[in-house]
Amino acid sequence: MVNRSAFSMLKFSMFKPVHALLLGAVALVVAGCGAGGPSFNPVGGKLTVDGKVPANVQISFYPVDGKGPIASGNVDAGTGRYDLTSSGGVGKPAGKGAVAGKYKVVLNAGGGAGAASPEAMMAQYSGNNQGKAPAAPKAAFKKEYGSASTSPKEVEVKSGANSIDLDL
């Protein structure tokens, strides 16, 4: 004859670890289904080129290791201030700032508040410009800053708020 109370205790103690494992697995699945994506740190600062604020420039931070999202922002032509926003990656939301890590600084002419609107660009292609492509904006910086592979400037974004002033 089996002692029912001993059997009940054995049954309860056998399933207790299984319940804990099941609960842990559910918690991991729920955590994995959240917004996900990288953790962004606020990044802003002031950009000058040879001590002067450039007009119509976009600044981008490209990860040195080639992994993670690129962060970019327009430089204010009056103050030189910029704030970065990152792409979140495929299927992930964008975020304000950048992921912690090392980056190459890349500049592109044509960004900023003074950049031509899509309507203005279309007007340049219309009959009043004889169908010619609009002139490329003149860069106010050295050509080497136009690509992550040639940019000599490297910066590091750390956890938390980052103020990164640059004079290139």
Contacts of 32 (CB under 8 A, 6+ apart): none
Could you state, in chain order, the average pLDDT of each consecutive group of 10 residues for the chain (168 residues)?
53 44 39 61 97 95 94 96 88 88 95 49 48 60 95 98 98
CB 82 within 8 A of CB 59: yes
Question: Looking at the DSSP assignment, which residues form a beta bridge with residue 5?
Answer: none
The pLDDT value given to residue 4: 56
Per-residue pLDDT, 93: 80
Measured CA distances, 34 to 37, 38, 92 (Å)? 9, 12, 11
Domain regions of the chain by residue span: 1-34, 43-167
Q: Would you state the structure tokens that stand for residue 109, as one six-digit string?
A: 């002419």
Question: What pLDDT is recorded for position 91?
Answer: 74
Put simply, whether the predicted model's pTM sits higher than 0.75 gets the answer no
pLDDT at 24: 43
Task: Catalogue the E-assigned strands of 27-161.
Answer: 43-48, 57-63, 71-75, 81-83, 85-86, 95-96, 101-109, 154-157
